Structure 1
Amino acid sequence: MYLPRAADAGAFSLATYGIPMLVLATTGSAALTGLAFALEWIPRLTVVGYAGTLVDRHGPVRVFRLASTLRALVVFAAAVVLLARTGGTETTVMVLAAASGALSQFSYVAAETTGADASRQAGNRAYRVQSVLLGVDQTALLAGPALAGLLVQWTGSTGLLTTCAAFSLMAAVLMPPRTAASDTAASASAEPVHARGFRTGWTVLLERPALAWLVGGFVVSNLSLGLVQAATPVIVVQKLGHSTGSVGLIWSAAAVASLLAVAVCRGAISRWGLWPAGAVSATVAAGACLAVAQATTYSAYLVLVAVLMAGEGGLTVVLRTLRSQLIPARVFGATLALTILLLLAPFPLAGLLVAAIPPGQLSQALGVCAVVQALALAVTFARLRTLPGLRPAHPCHPSRTGEPPHAHTGTAEPARSQRASVRAETVHAR
């Protein structure tokens, strides 16, 4: 499972960060760069519900292999068209952004479901599975942007798209045809459920207010994060006067900061609980976003974006932990798809804002979004403080660890076993 996950994460990272750089390098237009960013995310929102339902019905392995193969074909075809230079460059890169975004969503939902199923089957060793998967994702986020920037700068569209197609094809080939996780998904989809697709996800979300509030706070926060991601190529290249390779360096530095923050947040959750770790991460993210809007040099921009992504990394650990605890296994794909839809909705809006706002006013727009983000996160964590899902943990009181009430069975277990179970679930979720 780890090898195809690594190849898919590499293709995902190259496409997500490399296509906007490619558009800017190919067209020189800030508006088209923002539009391409939006076109990457809009198809993801369109297909995410269908992706979750498809994974629940047919298993993650089949969906993963098909999506990865189609993405390799689409990206390679775009590389051939751009290399031929027969015209229609703008149309080609826009279609590429939309198609790769949609196919990446299918492979992402399938990969997440596979990882969650494998972790549940691992039992007390689940933390080993999740730690490897988290390391794979963070390594891709570390290497992908820097590699994309260098490929665009030195090889143009051919090198970037060929490499992305190769990673996609490797992911499809390396995924084994049958795994225990795929059997789990198939059996889960055969069970009767009260609703399908988004109705199932909404039911789960509404029954778990802690998860609902956290997702709501993330939705508002992601508008600022999306604006930073969409505007960074324009700000770095046109305002700060650096190359596309420098853009990739920013996101690689941000990935390092995020990886360190995940490790710190892991220990903080074990010692103090979900709420304190999430509140501190939210404070760091909101403060850094406010500072990014005021950055005037490349070095300051790089450092502040890294701090921003560190805060976002801590928040993501909290979200993944709570999501893994609260979502039932048999409808994990559908509910995950709904949360993904909600969390990704601000990203195409951010791309449209970059396309519509003059480049000289992007910093002011980012400042406004940062203020809204700070207010939203403050309200979210003030509300979460009263909910049981994020109460601080205490080593002598297992009931305060944040474990959801429905996770308990009718049989009482010894305190030591209960604490061990809670710790294993928390590590598994991370």
Structure 2
Amino acid sequence: MRSCAGPRHARRPVPTLLRSIYLPRSTDAAAFAMATYGIPLLVLATTHSAALTGLAFALEWVPRLVAFAFAGMLVDRHGTTAVLRTASAGRALVVLAASVILPTQAGGHGATLTVMLLAALTGILSECSYIAAETAGGAAGRQAGARAHRVQSALLGIDQVATLLGPALAGLLLDWAGAAAMLGVIAVFSLLTSMLAPRESHRAKPAAPLPVLQGLRTGWSVLRALPTLSWLVAGLTVSNLAVGLLQAATPVIVLQQLGHSTADVGLIWSAAAVATLIAVAVCRRSIDRFGLWLVGAVSATIAAVACLAVSFADTYHTYLALIAVLMAGEGGMTVVLRTVRSRLIPADVFGATLSLTILLLLLPFPIAGVLVATVPPTQLGHLITLCAALQALSLTAAFARLRTAPALRARCL
């Protein structure tokens, strides 16, 4: 008989970051990346229409932008565990239903409607799971204190690995095993996320449910009250216009102007993901030694110079290298943003404020798509130069304003 046996719950091991944060984030990021890039491929394979493929991509992202508002409200009201489990399980059910329905529809309007609904529904559910996983990561960063940047850089690394491997895995499965296999793997990753969702030990709840618009107003009020975060978000929002423009214009530039293939377009973003992973690892150690501001300012300078040089690239390999350098700089700034965000935003309104900041950061992407659609391909170089100049000005203003900000001056030891 043991004389010092405590209550059963007291003997449970404390969950590690790997089990409680990194594993569910990895499975969710894998499902997110496979759905984002694989479902448009599925639309193309089903409908054989480039126009519908582009529309499907829009149907994934437009609901995601709308979902940010109520996703943050749901997280603040119900907590990360409930939202992550529900959204992931819902995504699994949706893709499994599509994998059963599609083989019964031999083309035609029924198959088109199925894949388009699949794109819209997975977009909404993926955004809800992402906000929940990001909120859990923010809480882990707050608990880490001065080492918050290490948690955030690890989460960013997970996202980049998923971005590197997810599209390739989706395309490979679709090509060699068919739509059912690809959708089945997305479902497996989604179910794993639902099962691995971290339990919350403490969570402050609002006194009453917040409507969506009130959640946005709450996030806006918090953002205005945090000038350090406001300046950083503003600078990165303008920077994302240049990044989004390059993402939208790269197929046109690589295929029509540089004379390469669609596979070479994919290689560019794979190289960019690898460069971002290296940059995240470097920034993680550099922040310990030099602090957030210096690492952020250097990353911003690298991104701005590379973006300005892209419009003058006249060979594929030069273009690839500059895009990789640009995304490495963006990766460094993202580590800084995530660290500042996890330190400054109060826990009880983190979901609403996180949703607003992500919404602001993603708004330039559809604008960039409209610009590429309306500007003649021969003028894209001038448009990229203009947006790169705006990026350089905005980042210079932001980091000059943040030079004395306490949240960025302290070193993380």
Tell me the distance in 2 between the aligned counterparts of 1:225 and 1:16: 18
Identify the match of residue 401 of structure 2 among 377, 383, 391.
383
CA, structure 1 residues 166+299, in 2 after alignment: closer, same or farther (shift >3 Å)? farther
- Single out whichever of 85-94 and 246-255 deviates more from structure 2: 85-94
The aligned residue for residue 165 of structure 2 is: 143
The aligned residue for residue 63 of structure 1 is: 83
Alpha-carbon shift at residue 310 of structure 1 (Å): 0.1
Mapped pair 1:286 → 2:275 = no
Alpha-carbon shift at residue 382 of structure 1 (Å): 2.6
The aligned residue for residue 423 of structure 1 is: 412
Alpha-carbon shift at residue 318 of structure 1 (Å): 1.2
CA, structure 1 residues 207+68, in 2 after alignment: closer, same or farther (shift >3 Å)? same
The aligned residue for residue 322 of structure 2 is: 304
Please tell me the residue identity of whatever aligns with 1:172: S
SS of 2:412 mapped into structure 1: helix
- Single out whichever of 37-46 and 71-80 deviates more from structure 2: 71-80
How much identity, in percent, do the aligned residues show?
Answer: 63
Q: Deviations over 1:81-122 (max 9, x none)?
A: 555333136554443333222111100110011222244446
The aligned residue for residue 217 of structure 2 is: 199
Please tell me the residue identity of whatever aligns with 1:314: G
Tell me the distance in 2 between the aligned counterparts of 1:370 and 1:152: 37
Contact 2:95 2:118 in 1 (8 A): yes
CA, structure 1 residues 166+351, in 2 after alignment: closer, same or farther (shift >3 Å)? farther
Please tell me the residue identity of whatever aligns with 2:108: G
Mapped pair 1:164 → 2:156 = no
Alignment of 1:310-329 (within 5 A): 310-329=328-347
Identify the match of residue 118 of structure 2 among 81, 90, 96.
96
The aligned residue for residue 85 of structure 1 is: 106
Please tell me the residue identity of whatever aligns with 2:25: R
Tell me the distance in 1 between the aligned counterparts of 2:272 and 2:324: 4
Tell me the distance in 1 between the aligned counterparts of 2:44 and 2:256: 10
SS of 2:108 mapped into structure 1: coil
CA, structure 1 residues 125+340, in 2 after alignment: closer, same or farther (shift >3 Å)? closer
Mapped pair 1:222 → 2:240 = yes
The count of residues paired between Structure 1 and Structure 2 equals 389
Contact 1:289 1:305 in 2 (8 A): yes
- Single out whichever of 125-134 and 332-341 deviates more from structure 2: 125-134
Alpha-carbon shift at residue 292 of structure 1 (Å): 3.0
The aligned residue for residue 255 of structure 1 is: 273
Mapped pair 1:12 → 2:32 = yes
Please tell me the residue identity of whatever aligns with 2:412: R
Tell me the distance in 1 between the aligned counterparts of 2:381 and 2:180: 32
The aligned residue for residue 427 of structure 1 is: none
Tell me the distance in 2 between the aligned counterparts of 1:145 and 1:93: 17
Tell me the distance in 1 between the aligned counterparts of 2:350 and 2:238: 24
Contact 1:275 1:390 in 2 (8 A): yes
CA, structure 1 residues 184+361, in 2 after alignment: closer, same or farther (shift >3 Å)? farther
CA, structure 1 residues 40+74, in 2 after alignment: closer, same or farther (shift >3 Å)? same
The aligned residue for residue 331 of structure 1 is: 349
Alpha-carbon shift at residue 43 of structure 1 (Å): 1.2
CA, structure 1 residues 119+388, in 2 after alignment: closer, same or farther (shift >3 Å)? closer
Contact 1:38 1:349 in 2 (8 A): no
Tell me the distance in 1 between the aligned counterparts of 2:257 and 2:46: 18
SS of 1:423 mapped into structure 2: coil
CA, structure 1 residues 289+82, in 2 after alignment: closer, same or farther (shift >3 Å)? farther
- Single out whichever of 298-307 and 333-342 deviates more from structure 2: 298-307
Q: Deviations over 1:217-247 (max 9, x none)?
A: 1111112222233344454456555555444
Alignment of 1:361-372 (within 5 A): 362-372=380-390
CA, structure 1 residues 217+174, in 2 after alignment: closer, same or farther (shift >3 Å)? same
Tell me the distance in 2 between the aligned counterparts of 1:191 and 1:277: 41
Contact 2:248 2:372 in 1 (8 A): yes
Q: Deviations over 1:2-55 (max 9, x none)?
A: 322211110111223334455566667665555444332221221212111111
Contact 2:156 2:335 in 1 (8 A): no
TM-score normalised to the size of structure 1? 0.78
Please tell me the residue identity of whatever aligns with 2:361: L
The aligned residue for residue 411 of structure 1 is: none
Question: What runs of 5+ residues in structure 2 fail to find an aligned partner?
Answer: 1-19
Contact 1:72 1:169 in 2 (8 A): yes
Tell me the distance in 1 between the aligned counterparts of 2:188 and 2:372: 31
CA-based RMSD of the aligned residues comes to: 3.2
CA, structure 1 residues 120+277, in 2 after alignment: closer, same or farther (shift >3 Å)? closer
Tell me the distance in 2 between the aligned counterparts of 1:369 and 1:32: 29
Tell me the distance in 2 between the aligned counterparts of 1:22 and 1:90: 10
Q: Deviations over 1:249-307 (max 9, x none)?
A: 32222111111111222233333332222122112112222333344444333222211
Please tell me the residue identity of whatever aligns with 1:300: T
Tell me the distance in 2 between the aligned counterparts of 1:364 and 1:79: 44
Q: Deviations over 1:160-198 (max 9, x none)?
A: 43332332222223336xx1x2x423x3445999x9512
Question: What runs of 5+ residues in structure 1 fail to find an aligned partner?
Answer: 392-400, 402-421, 425-430
CA, structure 1 residues 77+348, in 2 after alignment: closer, same or farther (shift >3 Å)? farther
Tell me the distance in 1 between the aligned counterparts of 2:228 and 2:122: 33
Contact 1:327 1:335 in 2 (8 A): yes
- Single out whichever of 57-66 and 277-286 deviates more from structure 2: 277-286
Contact 1:30 1:234 in 2 (8 A): no
Contact 2:307 2:323 in 1 (8 A): yes
